Amino acid sequence: MMISVDMYAADLAYINCLDEFDDVMYREVPEYAVPAFRVQHPWNKLSNIDPTVLCSDFILVAEFSELEGPRPLITIPNDGAGNFNLNDFAVRIMSVDQNTSVTEGFHITEDFQVILTETRDNVFAFVHHFVLYDQQARGFVRPFAVCYVTADQRKLMYFYEEIAAQMKKVARYFKYGNKLVFRNDLEKYLKDLEFTKRQVWRDNNSDQCPDSVMNKIKQVASLSAEVQNILTIIRPMLTDKRMEQRFARMEEKAKISRRSKLDSISLKEWDHVDHANDTKRKFDIHLRGLHELCSWGAKDGLQKLRRIHQFYQRDMALLQEEKLNTEYLEPVSGLLTFGNQCLAANFMAKIDKICVGSVCCRLTTYKTETTPKFFLQRCSSNDTLESFKSLTSSFQSIPDDDSYDNVSMTSAYNMQMNKQKEKIVYDNSTLFYSQSKNSKEMVDSSHTLVPDNEFDLVDEKSSVIDIVNDNKLRQNTDLSENENGCENSDLSKNERKCEKPDISEIDKTENTDFSENSRVFESETESKNDEQSEKTETTNLCENDRIPEINIKNKSNEYYEKLEYCENERFSETCSVLHDKTLNKSSLEMIDICDMCQNKNKTESEDTNICDKNQQIMIYCDSELIHSSLKELKLISECDRTSDVEKRKMLEYKIKMCKKCQIQFSQPLLEEEDSPPSNGEELVNQHISGPVTCEMFPIDDQLDIMSSGFGLRKLLTTYNNMQPLLYSLLTGRTVLIVGTSSHEADVKSFVKALRMFVPTYHRYPHSCIPWSSSVPKIVDLTKLKLVGLCRPERKTLDRLLPNSIKKLVTIMDVEKRVIHAPSYQGAFINTLIAKKKVFKVEEVFLSFVQSGYTMPRQSESYKSTISTFLYKLGIHDCDINIVEYLAEVVKYQHIEDHYHQNKSSGVPVRPIQTRYQQCQVFKC
Amino acid sequence: MSMWQRLWKSGNNSSDANKSDEEKVDVDVLEDEQPYNPFTELLPLHIHTDIVRLLVLVDDRRCVSVGDDCLAVLWDIQLCCKLYVLSGHTRPITCVLLLDTKDNSNDWLLTGSSDKQIRVWDLDQGKCVQIIEEHNTSVRCLMSLQDHDIFISGGEGLHLWSGDGKLLSSYDRSSEEADISLMLFTKNERLVTASSKELRVYSVINETEKNETKEFQGKITLTKKLPPHREAIRELVMVSDIMFASGSLDGTIILWSTQSYLPTYTFNIMSEYKGKDQRYPYSIQHMICVEERYIMAAIGSGFALFDILTKRLICKKINAHYSKVLHLTFVCDGTFLATCSEDGSIRLWGHVPTGNLTLGERADMAHSIIERFMGVSTEEKMMYPGYSYVFEPNLLGECLAHSGAVENIIECGGDTMLSCGVDGLVIAWKIFMTLHALGHFTGRV
């Protein structure tokens, strides 16, 4: 067998390759040439073809050594290059002549950036060349290059500006640190020369010096003149006080931690320790390493590189999707959340809201600079720990000091932004963390709920692996902001380990999409036979509670083709809509996505569903609403793990009737507009600054916080007439769930289940109290939205609640099974909970509800004027209130953030809406 | 039984009105649905820790609330957020006065307290700029003199101050028992003070020209004692240049001429004013004067509108609240009369729009506040001589949020009503133009 493997090795690669992409070709291969088995190489199928081919992106730091020529120095991550021939590549990138214009004496060489394409090897690199100065080097120069190497050319093209800017920044750290070191070296050298000169004079104190001595003195004099000359060039360049402070602070921190940790040595003291420790020096000549050359600049630069790598190494699809979607997530205060799982994005994020009051609106154009930075900053959480370790081992000239790296990273943050802003980054990460954790939890529970899945042990491996890869990919997006790195790596490890595919893994890829058409797609990928053909179950749940039709398609290809077709259609349509609205760039983005989606992993392609198509179009068409000065929001069902951000639903629109709203709205936004477009980072900071965002996604160690919404199905099936209750929650009317102490468990579970309807819950976790014995006061009602209230046995409900409170709240008496609430007459909630009987599993229903925060479409009315628009909306009287309330929530988030940013003494109070509705008693 | 008492009782068709228990009186009750109530948004402002007694409007945006917790809080009404907390007094603040400084653009606020201090605050910076301690006795009321840069403080003593807080003159009141609780300044440079049942008139002599110095010299001298009320005077209100009115615990409202300082007319004279258990069911808690012609008075747990010109009662509501009406004001340009009471509620009164006209349209047609409040047709009817129609307003809305007596209500900025109460809350009631409310105004619902 071994022989045959060798024999067919080349063919195998070829066939595997064909098998991947073309079934027809496969059949043309003679039968004898088809191997009897298939090598399972799931982690990277491409590597079957050529071991040298690039499997994942990495960053390479290379230098042109005067001793060895081009050589690779550091890769990020350490083993990132895989089998890739780094030496060859280093030669390739370093074989450029930087000093094209030869001038006399010392001069500063400018950086330059190159994009290298090796289409044959499918390797593309963004190379940033820069020169460091070394007093010990020939001509004082040490050419270096940092390059981002990827197999995906589009990444470099699409994110060219971002990568270029980031690289420049990295080089700046290196170079500035280097210049400081170089200056110090030269000054020291100058002193040495002076000393030598004096020494020579003193030694030859006679009147007539011998010629040799005179020559020596002349030599020294010319040397010192040259050094002086260089210093006059270097010194004026060292003006970046911020950078120096930053390095100084790092130095300070290192000094502090030095006492406890042996391996973190202050770099300034390095010189003394250096020579004793360094055993890896080559060719007997000391060529200083990057860290010695750049001092803290190297640390900073490498850190930044790690972040860049972490950000851009992800799949192009994700990057692009993220780029598209982050626009909608800005500003943070514009986010509308439901429970702790659902996120509605501000769809008009990039629209000049100052003009909202009037008719005109324009799209701002400086978005491209902001987004990646925003994310890069978010990426730099502790989960880069692994790459730290890998990196430090590649430092040949410095002891392992990753312990410091952790310290310095936070300090680096402090310097880049102020503390507040750092907090925000942190807090944002917790959002994603909680979500991911939650999804994990849900996966776990669904494991027990879906018992009858049969798997062949033999060959499902590959498909599972596919899934795992896919999950890994997704987790990278979801969890890249996750600050608990261990959690992340653990998860992926588990996945790799699992021999028998866990149902939960399958479940992860299972995509359940819902739209307002009530169309449900459930697709499960299961591998059932040796040929890895996947069976896809497509379940259509059509409108009006029809019994689910199940179409089983044996040929998965058909299914995918269908999906792809729809995707394309969808994207091209959105493109066309976008084209005249936004810049050409946006449409390019969309086209890119079209391309990309076709190439996507199969499981990935499931993510998009047909139902989405209409919505997408609708959403983009809605930008016409801008002209009617309407505000709309788009809901993303974030929790739905398979499709996370891709699934977004248009939720709401609203006219700001009162002029005060306009004033208040434009206040925080005015400032954003004021900042110059070029100053991208500042802009982002403004977007995300303010302590209120700390409140927004607080770290809550309560475990049950993760499971809000769980039990909703049970609640809805066991109790009737829940619409008024949900209506109250969605209109901001405080809901009291009252029960005696014997009902404590029930009440608590109700609160937990209903929490997902509280739009302010994310920002104020205290807006929901599962069990309380004190009656809320009027002041509390501004923030308290859902309270489980303990009623003493002897006190009746009427006596418990004062009249003033009773009129403002909705009461559910668990004991009597009675709801006292304003009645609901609308369509929204009814459609939302109409499906409760269709879903047997809690999670699926939850995802349905989450994705179902949609308003009934009234496309004609969009185009009409404001008043008719409202009038038409008036058909569903109560739904208007919901939309109004949600818009109010967003408005107040904006206002509060604005006030927190300005550190005003008082923050506007959130209003309590008293709609003076007729309350009715519903039996439930 | 006096004529006024009969008139007052005429709404109660029961012949044995005297015997009817107060517990059994019919007080209007509203359903949950309040289609005419425009204040659909309420914002509780919580800083005070004790009873909030007084609300004073600074300008369109700002308002000061003072309370028994010795604090004065400056609020931004539009955004409903606290601007400054003015703390410094050691005893409850009893009165506030906004002082216009001619030379200074800053807004000054004077607060008088029972800690015998008057503090001057800069409202733009939220700082205390001056502490005046020469008052030496508890301060009950403050008043600024029009056209002069001086102010007067009353209480146990009576003092005249220059605008920069310099004591100009003080009147020795050691012989008098009761503190001055109310003050009024008439056009002809006379000061009217009320202490218990008594009304006194003082002259504030301007001595500037006499001394031929630029410094203002003032001196308070007693010029006249007016005939006393039967009970303690509860409200003193300026009607016009030639007339002011005083209302007392027994329910009597006396109109005084500022020329002769003699009573020109007396409304609402009750013969058995003390009522059951000396509850004074007709006591005047608050009076406002509208258009120099009408006096709206909070009488007992109801209110009444008197026309000075025709000397008639033209509108009344006897049992407007379950308990005494503490304060009343017109809101929404007179579309509603808002009354607040010890029972913790704020009620909105007006007329139910009839015919095709909605409230908004009807309000547009009216010329004056009273017309808007009573409806144009009512006004017209009322103008017929000899017509004894008394308008009884309808309960149009109830704002219920305070958990105790509501001490004060003011309207500010056209779309906001502020209320304060013994629960330490200041509540901003906003007209939130919901589509629902909008519907009533536009007639779409």
Mean pLDDT of all residues belonging to chain A: 59
Domains held by chain A: number: 3
Residue B383's H or E segment, with its range, is helix B376-383
Torsion of CA A77, A81, A82, A84, to 10 degrees: -170
pLDDT in the model for residue A100 = 53
Helices A241-258 and A402-416: angle between axes, nearest 10 degrees: 150
> Percent of chain B at pLDDT above 90?
22
User: Length of chain B in residues, anyone?
Assistant: 445
Residue A923 CA neighbour count, 13 Å, CB half:
0
pLDDT in the model for residue B327 = 94
> Same domain for A585 and A625?
yes
pLDDT in the model for residue A869 = 52
Determine the structural domain holding residue A11 and report its residue range. Answer: 2-39
Q: Average pLDDT for residues A872-888, to the nearest whole number?
A: 66
Q: Does the pLDDT at position B204 exceed 90?
A: no
pLDDT class of A679 with cuts at 50, 70, 90: very low
- The residue out of A669, A694, A719 marking a domain boundary is A694
Q: Average pLDDT for residues B313-321, to the nearest whole number?
A: 88
Q: Does the pLDDT at position B197 exceed 60?
A: yes
For residue B338, list its beta bridge partners: B329, B348
Cα–Cα distance measured from residue A353 to residue A358, given in angstroms and rounded to the nearest whole number: 10
At A521-549, the pLDDT tens digits run 333 333 333 333 333 333 333 333 333 33
Residue A44: inside a domain, yes or no?
Answer: no
- Cβ pair A644, A662 in contact under 8 A: no
Instruction: List Cβ neighbours of A714 (8 Å cut-off, separation of 6 or more).
Output: A749, A753, A842
Among B32, B344, B428, the residue with its CB nearest the CB of A919 is B32
pTM above 0.80, yes or no: no
Burial B232-250 (b: 16+ CB within 10 A, else e): bbbbbbbbeeebbbbbbbb
Residue A475: inside a domain, yes or no?
Answer: yes
Chain A residues in contact with B44 by the CB 8 A cut-off are: 778-779, 781-782, 909, 912
Among A311-325, A357-371, A699-713, B158-172, which is the least confidently predicted range? Answer: A357-371
> Same domain for A672 and A714?
no
Q: Which residue has the tokens 């932004």?
A: A417
At A683-703, the pLDDT tens digits run 333 333 333 322 333 333 333
Among A149-163, A344-358, A714-728, A895-909, which is the least confidently predicted range? Answer: A344-358
> Same domain for A675 and A718?
no
Q: Which residue has the tokens 């290192």?
A: A254
> Same domain for A319 and A366?
yes
Q: Note whether A778 contacts B344, CB cutoff 8 Å.
A: no
Which has more pLDDT, A326 or B195? B195
> Percent of chain A at pLDDT above 70?
43
Long-range contacts of A769-776 (CB under 8 A, 24+ apart): A770/A704, A771/A744, A771/A747, A775/A800, A775/A801, A775/A802, A775/A805, A776/A734, A776/A736, A776/A805, A776/A809
Residue A160: inside a domain, yes or no?
Answer: no
Residue A68: inside a domain, yes or no?
Answer: no
A65's tokens: 């050594």
Which has more pLDDT, B300 or B444? B300
Contact of A458 with chain B, judged by CB distance below 8 Å, is answered with no
Chain B residues in contact with A869 by the CB 8 A cut-off are: none
Torsion of CA A479, A483, A489, A495, to 10 degrees: -40
> Same domain for A684 and A717?
no
With CA atoms as reference, the chain A residue closest to B399 would be A804
At A850-859, the pLDDT tens digits run 554 443 333 3
pLDDT class of B246 with cuts at 50, 70, 90: very high
Contact of A868 with chain B, judged by CB distance below 8 Å, is answered with no
pLDDT class of A777 with cuts at 50, 70, 90: confident
Q: Average pLDDT for residues A823-835, to the nearest whole number?
A: 76
Q: Rounded to whole angstroms, what are the CA distances from A359 to A362, A618, A664, B385?
A: 10, 21, 17, 55
A501's tokens: 């595919």
Q: Does the pLDDT at position A613 exceed 60?
A: no
Among B45, B425, B432, the residue with its CB nearest the CB of A913 is B432
Burial, A432: exposed, middle or buried (Cβ in 10 Å; 0-12, 13-18, 19+)? buried
> Same domain for A689 and A730?
no
Among A197-201, A379-383, A890-894, B165-169, which is the least confidently predicted range? Answer: A379-383
B62's tokens: 């700002």
> Same domain for A735 and A589?
no
Q: Does the pLDDT at position B340 exceed 90?
A: yes
At A369-389, the pLDDT tens digits run 333 333 333 333 333 333 333
> Same domain for A795 and A683?
no
Among A67-71, A448-452, B338-342, which is the least confidently predicted range? Answer: A448-452
> Same domain for A368 and A482?
yes
Q: Does the pLDDT at position A273 exceed 60?
A: no
> Percent of chain B at pLDDT above 70?
80
Residue A469: inside a domain, yes or no?
Answer: yes
Residue A592: inside a domain, yes or no?
Answer: yes
Residue A721: inside a domain, yes or no?
Answer: yes
- Cβ pair B63, B78 in contact under 8 A: no
Residue A212's H or E segment, with its range, is helix A211-234
DSSP state of A841: S
> Same domain for A738 and A624?
no
Cα–Cα distance measured from residue B99 to residue B168, given in angstroms and rounded to the nearest whole number: 17
Q: Does the pLDDT at position A811 exceed 50?
A: yes
C-alpha distance from B397 to closest chain A C-alpha (Å): 9
pLDDT in the model for residue A286 = 63
What secondary structure does DSSP assign to A156-172, as a single string?
HHHTHHHHHHHHHHHHH
Instruction: List Cβ neighbours of B364 (8 Å cut-off, separation of 6 or more).
Output: none
Residue A73: inside a domain, yes or no?
Answer: no
A95's tokens: 């074989």
With CA atoms as reference, the chain B residue closest to A880 would be B435
CATH code for the domain in which residue A847 is found: 3.40.50.12430
pLDDT in the model for residue B408 = 93
Q: Average pLDDT for residues A191-214, to the nearest whole number?
A: 80
With CA atoms as reference, the chain B residue closest to A879 would be B435
> Same domain for A646 and A732?
no
Question: What is the C-alpha radius of gyration for chain A, rounded to an integer number of angstroms?
Answer: 32
Q: Note whether A916 contacts B438, CB cutoff 8 Å.
A: no
Which has more pLDDT, B426 or B164? B426
Q: Does the pLDDT at position A566 exceed 80?
A: no
- Cβ pair A762, A836 in contact under 8 A: no
> Same domain for A772 and A668?
no
| Interface test with chain B among A775, A916, A919, A921, by most B beta carbons within 10 Å | A916
What secondary structure does DSSP assign to A433-446, as a single string?
HHHHHHHHHHHHHH
Residue B266's H or E segment, with its range, is strand B263-267
